[in-house]
Amino acid sequence: MGKYITKRVLVTIPVLLGIILLIFYMLNVVPGDPVTVMMKEHLKEDVIENLRRTMHLDDPFFLRYLRYVWDALRGDLGVSWKLNRSVTALIATAFPYTLRLAVAAALFSWIMGIPVGILSAVKKNSLMDHLSMGLSLFGVSMPVFWVALILQNTFKGVLPVSGANSWQCYILPTVVLGWSSAGRIARLTRSNLLEVMRNDYIRTARSKGLSPLRVISRHALKNALIPVITVMAIQISSLLSGAVITESVFAIPGVGSLAVSAINNRDMPLLQGTVIFTAVLIIAGNLVADVLYSVIDPRIRVE
Amino acid sequence: MQDNILEIHNLVTSFASDGRKDRAIAVNGVDIAIPKGSTVGLVGESGCGKSVTSLSAMGLLPDNGRVESGEAIFCGRDLLKLPDRELRKIRGNRISMIFQEPMTSLNPVIPVGKQVSEALRLHGGMDKETAKRKSIEILERVGVPEARRRYDNYPHQLSGGLRQRVMIGMAMALKPDLLIADEPTTALDVSIEAQILRLMRTLQRESGMSILMITHNLGVVAEICDEVYVMYAGEVVEHADVYALFRDCAHPYTRGLIASLPRMTPKGQRLYTIRGTVPNLRAMPAGCRFAPRCERACKRCWEEKPLLQDIGNGHLCRCHAPVGTNGNGGEGNG
Ligand SMILES: Nc1ncnc2c1ncn2[C@@H]1O[C@H](COP(=O)(O)OP(=O)(O)OP(=O)(O)O)[C@@H](O)[C@H]1O
Ligand SMILES: [Mg+2]
């Protein structure tokens, strides 16, 4: 068990290095000279020369990569060209907003998705089932910005539609961001539960005289939810990283908004920092999902 | 007739299948009686309706299955008409079941001990500690070594034989009046099978319970049963006590089954097989259901459905020309 986790953690290191390399490479071939971006065209030749040297811009690519990784390991992601502040500090300020939104959306999707999925499975083919599966499909397949605009128009005046200065501000973004996850979880819960209910051990449980409710809660649910829990762990990381559109539409100053402003300003260190930060979150989410899976599924636990 | 623990009368069970209006009749008017304290075998090829018969009686049919008619009298009460709440008090308590596949029949994510103690807590009203202590005793009783440690094991950590012992322990936990064992040894190898059968017999002797042993293995029947019902295509075709059945089986199908037993075949001779296959549930022959595969079939067999008749000493057979008669379908055509 401990060995499995250690192995699993060690495996992520090369993955992480590879991803940083990829991002670093892609963003470095994009045209746009940082010094020009920073200073506009007001500078003399020698000042530019000097700046390029202190920023190591003329060093070979691989050297710059290694330097970047080394700095990143110590928590230094460089300095934003546009805002002239430490990227780490910028992300640290923005991240709590993103985290709040993602956690709220995740909770929303679990609290909605799992019970709805269970009810749909139990009342298979009922009106409730069709209705909730329809709504789930809607959530999964509609573009986020479109749902966001509709909700903003519908609830204008009732709920705040932009900003992040009160908890009410998070309600609409949470629904927008969490809806598709909730739909996915509801559908997955439903189909898993239906699948599990066909198993022999469910018949065994019934043959013991357990009530239908206990058969589901004691025997079916744990089996059905194991894959759902894994998906939930992965979703948290994708919610953290996927909030870009939602944050922009609702003007929440999170990491997503930071990334969007970095793109608009051609602020490479900031963009690089946010993208790599997000990639790390996703990898960590997958890691947690794997470990969680091995903890809750006894069949994997021993191996 | 109050010395029967369970009497199934004229049971008819059907299944719906996707995209079809008509229902397939899987069990067609089955009568079975299980005397108190005895072991009754229910044999027949795969798909003849053995499992469906027992599941119908226990109210455990899958969603698409339905009992059309019949009754299953247990201690004076018809199980088929009991409300679910009442039936649940009987299931796992007075009638227990063991299923074929011990791997898939145990819940993979619940420790086996817990699965044993569950019924004890439900029907026996025991608290957690007592139930656990009792479960460990039961596991020891059914021959699970190191029962205390095994209590916390998950099914995949046990061998097939041990899993089936756990299943038996689970079923025996509350000393049921009737144990329905649906092919309990089919998935096990021969030596383990012998051990499991011995265990079941010992437990039966101790508790005086009755057993309905569902199997397609006549060897198992010979080993453990007192009397036998032979099923073919959803119907009982022969019923006799086990000696009479092996000595003078009357139905050509039963004879085929016995002839295809390996040890009944002289050395060097090819193993006998019954030609043809089981008829489709939706396209049953009009006359005898076995006629298309029967070496003795004649015109009457194809046209007229034989009834289950007493051919002496309570030996029942559904055949116009039972083995041992002149084999021309009776009544002088010839
Ligand atoms: N869930 C189901 N849906 C439709 N038909 C079914 C279902 N379960 C069983 N049947 C049909 O009922 C008939 C009897 O099946 P049953 O499981 O009782 O056979 P069996 O005698 O127990 O065979 P086996 O030795 O393979 O266990 C089969 O023809 C099968 O196709
Ligand atoms: Mg069966």
Residue from B51, B109, B115, B186 to probe the interface with A (highest A Cβ count within 10 Å): B109
The yes-or-no verdict on residue A67 having pLDDT over 80 is yes
Classify residue B334: in a domain, yes or no: no
Least trusted range by pLDDT, from A96-100, A154-158, B66-70, B302-306: A154-158
Greater pLDDT, A279 or A297: A279
Compute the average pLDDT of residues A94-123.
92
Compute the average pLDDT of residues A95-113.
92
Compute the average pLDDT of residues B248-262.
88
Classify residue B122: in a domain, yes or no: yes
Cα B14 to middle of ligand 1, angstroms: 10
Q: Is A95-297 CATH 1.10.3720.10?
A: yes
Atom of ligand 1 nearest to the CA of B186: 25
User: Using 50, 70 and 90 to split pLDDT, how confident is the model at A36?
Assistant: low
Cβ B216 under 6 angstroms from ligand 1: yes
The pLDDT tens digits of the residues spanning B288-314 come to 999 999 988 889 999 999 999 999 888
One domain for residues B220 and B237: no
The pLDDT tens digits of the residues spanning B229-244 come to 999 999 999 999 999 9
Q: What is the pLDDT of residue A75?
A: 87
Tokens of A205: 């449980």
Q: Is A195 on the interface with B (CB under 8 A)?
A: no
User: Using 50, 70 and 90 to split pLDDT, how confident is the model at A233?
Assistant: confident
User: Using 50, 70 and 90 to split pLDDT, how confident is the model at B332?
Assistant: very low
Cβ B42 under 6 angstroms from ligand 1: no
Question: Which residue in the set A199, A203, A226 is minimally distant from B60, CB to CB?
Answer: A203
Classify residue B332: in a domain, yes or no: no
Cβ B26 under 6 angstroms from ligand 1: yes
Look at residues B225, B250, B271 and tell me which one is the last residue of a structural domain.
Answer: B225
Classify residue B214: in a domain, yes or no: yes
Q: What is the pLDDT of residue A30?
A: 64
Least trusted range by pLDDT, from A148-162, A287-301, B85-99: A287-301
Mean of per-residue pLDDT scores for chain A: 86
Cβ B49 under 6 angstroms from ligand 1: yes
One domain for residues B212 and B265: no
Contact A203/B104, CB-based, under 8 Å? no
The yes-or-no verdict on residue B333 having pLDDT over 60 is no
One domain for residues B152 and B278: no
Q: What is the pLDDT of residue A301?
A: 57
Classify residue B278: in a domain, yes or no: yes
With contact defined as beta carbons under 8 Å apart, do A214 and A222 qualify?
no
The yes-or-no verdict on residue A162 having pLDDT over 90 is no
One domain for residues B208 and B267: no
Greater pLDDT, B112 or B189: B112
Cα B48 to middle of ligand 1, angstroms: 7
One domain for residues B100 and B175: yes
Mean of per-residue pLDDT scores for chain B: 89
DSSP state, A86?
B
One domain for residues B189 and B283: no
Cα B180 to middle of ligand 2, angstroms: 12
Q: Where are the domains of chain A?
A: 2-73, 95-297
One domain for residues B16 and B56: yes
Atom 25 of ligand 1: nearest residue by CA position: B46
The yes-or-no verdict on residue A42 having pLDDT over 70 is no
Q: What is the pLDDT of residue A41?
A: 61
One domain for residues B264 and B162: no
Least trusted range by pLDDT, from A3-17, A47-61, B91-105: A47-61
Classify residue B217: in a domain, yes or no: yes
Look at residues B193, B225, B257 and tell me which one is the last residue of a structural domain.
Answer: B225
Give the pTM: 0.80
What is the number of structural domains in chain B? 2
Q: What is the pLDDT of residue B305?
A: 93
Q: What is the pLDDT of residue A43?
A: 66
The yes-or-no verdict on residue A97 having pLDDT over 80 is yes
Look at residues B225, B254, B269 and tell me which one is the last residue of a structural domain.
Answer: B225
Restricting to A residues 264-293, those with a Cβ less than 8 Å away from any Cβ of B are: none
Cα B133 to middle of ligand 1, angstroms: 38
User: Using 50, 70 and 90 to split pLDDT, how confident is the model at B334?
Assistant: very low
Contacts of B106 (CB under 8 A, 6+ apart): A201, A204, B112, B115, B155, B163, B166, B167
CATH of the domain at B39: 3.40.50.300
Q: What is the pLDDT of residue B148?
A: 94
One domain for residues B120 and B266: no
The pLDDT tens digits of the residues spanning B267-293 come to 666 777 888 888 888 888 889 999 999
Compute the average pLDDT of residues B54-72.
94
By residue range, what is the domain housing residue B160? Answer: 4-225
One domain for residues B150 and B289: no
B38 conformational bin, left if phi > 0, alpha if psi -120 to 50, beta if neither: beta
One domain for residues B256 and B159: no
One domain for residues B123 and B240: no
Phi, psi of B303 (to 5 degrees): -100, -35
Tokens of A148: 């966001």
